[in-house]
Structure 1
Amino acid sequence: MKRVKKRHQPSGTRTAFNGTNRRGEEHISWKKQKQLDIHQALNSDPVDIETLRKAAVSEGGLLTDDVRRKVWPKLLSVNVFDLPARPAKNIRENHKDFNQVLLDVRRSMRRFPRGMRVDERAVLQEQLIDIILDVLRRNPQLHYYQGYHDIVVTFLLVVGERVAIAMVEKLSNHHLRDFMDPTMDSTKHILNYLMPLLEQVDSELHDFMLSRAEVGTIFALSWLITWYGHVLSDFRHVLRLYDFFLASHPLMAVYFAAVIVLHREREVKSSECDMASVHHLLSQIPQDLPYEQLIARAQSLFTCHPPAELAHSAALQSRKSITISTFQAFQMSTQQQRPDSVLRREVVNRHDARLSRGAPPSRAAHQLVKAAVWGLSATLGVAALAVAQTAMDWAPDFLLQLF
Structure 2
Amino acid sequence: MRRRVLAAAPPPGGGRKEKAFWIHRALTCDPIDIETLRKEAVSDGGLLSQEIRRKVWPKLLSINIYNLPPKPGSAIRVNHRDYNQVEMDVRRSLRRFPKGMPEEERSVLQGQLTDMILYILRSNRELHYYQGYHDVAVTLLLTVGVRMGTAMLQALSTHHLRDFMDPTMDRTRHVLSYLMPLVQCESAHLHDFLLRSEVGVIFALSWLITWYGHVLSDFHQVLRLYDFFLASHPLMPVYCAAQMVLMREEEILNCECDMPFVHQLLSKIPSNFPYETLISRTHSLFQKHPPADVERQASLQRLKSISAASFHSLLISTSQQRPDFVLRQQNSSDSNALPVVRSQNTLVKVAVWGLSASLGAAALAVTQTALEWGPELLLGLF
TM-score, with length taken from structure 2: 0.90
Letter in 1 for 2:135: D
Provide the C-alpha distance between the structure 2 equivalents of 1:260 and 1:355, rounded to a whole number of angstroms. Answer: 49
Provide the C-alpha distance between the structure 2 equivalents of 1:397 and 1:86, rounded to a whole number of angstroms. Answer: 15
Residue in structure 2 matching 1:243, options 227, 246, 268: 227
Residue in structure 2 matching 1:396, options 347, 372, 375: 375
* TM-superposition CA deviations, 1:340-392 (whole Å, max 9, x none): 11111222222xx3488xxxx47x99999757623333221257647755764
Q: CA distance change for structure 1 residues 38 and 355 in 2, over 3 Å: closer, same or farther?
A: closer
Which position in structure 1 is the counterpart of 2:147?
162
Provide the C-alpha distance between the structure 2 equivalents of 1:186 and 1:371, rounded to a whole number of angstroms. Answer: 44
Bigger CA radius of gyration: 1
* TM-superposition CA deviations, 1:104-125 (whole Å, max 9, x none): 1111111011111111111111
Contact 2:344 2:375 in 1 (8 A): no
Which position in structure 2 is the counterpart of 1:272?
256
Which position in structure 1 is the counterpart of 2:320?
336
Contact 2:65 2:377 in 1 (8 A): no
Contact 2:51 2:370 in 1 (8 A): no
* TM-superposition CA deviations, 1:228-268 (whole Å, max 9, x none): 00000100100000000000111111111111101111111
Provide the C-alpha distance between the structure 1 equivalents of 2:153 and 2:268, rounded to a whole number of angstroms. Answer: 28
DSSP-derived class of the 1:149 partner: helix
Which position in structure 1 is the counterpart of 2:217?
233
Residue in structure 1 matching 2:352, options 375, 380, 386: 375
TM-score, with length taken from structure 1: 0.86
Provide the C-alpha distance between the structure 2 equivalents of 1:31 and 1:396, rounded to a whole number of angstroms. Answer: 25
Contact 1:159 1:390 in 2 (8 A): no
Paired residue total:
367
Residue in structure 2 matching 1:326, options 295, 307, 310: 310
DSSP-derived class of the 1:90 partner: helix
Q: Structure 1 regions of 5+ residues with no counterpart? A: 1-24
1:199-348 alignment runs, 5 A limit:
199-210=184-195, 212-314=196-298, 316-348=300-332
Determine whether 1:121 maps to 2:106: yes
DSSP-derived class of the 2:252 partner: helix
Contact 1:191 1:217 in 2 (8 A): yes
Q: CA distance change for structure 1 residues 398 and 289 in 2, over 3 Å: closer, same or farther?
A: closer
DSSP-derived class of the 2:232 partner: coil
* TM-superposition CA deviations, 1:299-340 (whole Å, max 9, x none): 111111000000014451221110111111211110011111
Q: CA distance change for structure 1 residues 348 and 395 in 2, over 3 Å: closer, same or farther?
A: farther
Q: Structure 2 regions of 5+ residues with no counterpart? A: 1-10
Contact 2:348 2:378 in 1 (8 A): no
Provide the C-alpha distance between the structure 1 equivalents of 2:120 and 2:372, rounded to a whole number of angstroms. Answer: 24
Contact 1:372 1:388 in 2 (8 A): no
Alpha carbon RMSD of aligned pairs, Å?
A: 2.5
